[in-house]
Amino acid sequence: MNSVVRVLEPKRQLPTTQRHVVARTADDLLSQIQSGTFAPGARLPSVRQLARERKVSPFSAAEIYNALVAAGAVEAQAGLGYFVTRRRIARPAEPRRQEFPTDSVWERRRETLGQPIKVDSGCGWLPADWLHGEGVRAALRSAARQPNLHMEGYGNPFGLPQLRAHLSTLLEARGLTVREDQIVLTQGASQALDLVVRECLRPGDAAIVEDPGYPPLFEMLKNRGVQMLSIARTEGGPDVEALASLLKRRKARCVFTNTTYHNPTGTTTILPIAHRLLELANLYDLTIVEDDIFSDLAPSTTLASLDELKRVVYISSFSKTISPGLRAGFLATSPALASRLARAKVTASLGTSELLEQLTLQILTQGHYRRHLKRLRERLAAAHTRVAREFEARGVELAFRPQAGLFLWAKLPSREPVGKLWRMAAGEGVLLAPGELFRPDGSAIDYWRFNVAQCGGPELLRFVETLQR
């Protein structure tokens, strides 16, 4: 039986014992309605009568009915009382179809056909207990006590001014001087990328992407009608000499690059390659879109700080360090382009949630957020060391050794086709992220993305040992 009291939003907070009584009574009445004890359209006891029958206060009885009305099981008729709805009440007897979390691998989760996934080794997020749950809960409690939450209107097109001011200070510490009017808050980094694709590129234009790279970006570019030109991702960053050769032959408007702890290879762009990339951007009139979503895991020199946002659009978010569900991201660019992107954001979605932006601001300004980041970096470094050691002992070939961040790009010890390996792993409860998902043309490759924070289950190592044997 599904509890209906979850939808309840009481006018004042009930004591814990009283809340439990309300929940039990509401569920009991719902069960009777669903079983036919109360016929459709039947009048229910008055609030006072229900209070006497169930030995609860009139206030609790009213909250019981509020919960049933919110659940769609009961209708309130002014001056007449409460009646069982005449609409069909769904019975929660049938288990819901399994639903899957969203990331680059979500369609592969659907292909497991209900088989239990014990180890989601290639997913794009941290385990729940690695995220900043304590900070989110503290921010929610603090926000609930504030009398003047941002609730009216759709907010500022650029996003919450106080959060943009704080981000300006954070970016200053990273060597990037940026005003508030150069920052646009977005629903995660993905919305920032989408805005840039729609505003900076026209159908028929060419854009340069990394191979391997970020799958949602590839879909955004395809949907926009943009031709993708790819360059390899190397240990030190994008292959800038291949880029130089490509630009001699082809005209492109933008280059997209993920600088720190690249998804999916885990590599970080080194300073000489960063300088060469900026040199090519100036020579060939390119806009560089710098995706730096992992910057909080290891702040490093960014293309944006070297370029001072002349040719670089800087994108980041807090999805990887606070919570993916918070959807808090931002972009920083020139004032003119920031204004265009803010206007495009309003056209697409009217704005971003200032309530969530207020929560993000509170989390970032709490003292224990820095402690959380320190602990997270330590855990990821330890996980890299452990997983690399365990993989190499079992014949897994690592393309790179990043030693920090989330990802490893690795080749399994098998000559079997990728599809067969994936199905074998799924049969053992292990979900793998095949390299073809991260390629602009989707072609097969014998590398796989691994999230070191999600590789602790014994099932994964047993599967790799099977391949080794």
Question: Confidence band (pLDDT; 50, 70, 90) for 96?
Answer: low
Q: What is the mean pLDDT of residues 72-82?
A: 88
Q: How far is 429 from 112, CA to CA, in rounded Å? A: 9
Q: Which residues neighbour 455 within 8 Å (Cβ) at sequence distance 6 or greater?
A: 119, 121, 383, 387
pTM score: 0.82
Domain borders along the chain are 5-84, 106-124+370-468, 133-365
pLDDT digits (tens, 9 = 90+) for 125-147: 899 999 998 899 888 888 888 77
Dihedral pair phi/psi, residue 102, rounded to 5°: -95, 130
For residue 32, give the 3-state DSSP assignment. helix
The pLDDT of residue 10 is 44
The angle that helices 188-200 and 335-349 make with each other, rounded to 10 degrees, is 110
Q: How far is 132 from 410, CA to CA, in rounded Å? A: 29
Q: What is the mean pLDDT of residues 398-424?
A: 94
Number of neighbours of residue 247 by Cβ within 10 angstroms: 20
**Quick check: 454 pLDDT over 90?**
yes
Query: Which region among 104-118, 195-209, 352-366, 447-461 has the lowest average model confidence (pLDDT)?
Result: 104-118
Does domain 133-365 fall under CATH 3.40.640.10? My reply is yes
pLDDT digits (tens, 9 = 90+) for 376-404: 999 999 999 999 999 999 999 999 999 89
Nearest to 38 by CA among 8, 7, 65: 65
Query: Which region among 22-26, 272-276, 380-384 has the lowest average model confidence (pLDDT)?
Result: 22-26
The pLDDT of residue 109 is 59
Nearest-5° angle of CA 373, CA 273, CA 299?
Answer: 10
Question: Confidence band (pLDDT; 50, 70, 90) for 102?
Answer: low
5-84: CATH topology: Arc Repressor Mutant, subunit A (1.10.10)
Dihedral pair phi/psi, residue 321, rounded to 5°: -110, -30
Does domain 106-124+370-468 fall under CATH 3.90.1150.10? My reply is yes
pLDDT digits (tens, 9 = 90+) for 37-56: 888 888 999 989 998 988 88
Number of neighbours of residue 204 by Cβ within 10 angstroms: 9
Question: Confidence band (pLDDT; 50, 70, 90) for 287?
Answer: very high
List the end-to-end C-alpha distance of the chain, in Å, as a whole number.
47
**Quick check: 315 pLDDT over 80?**
yes
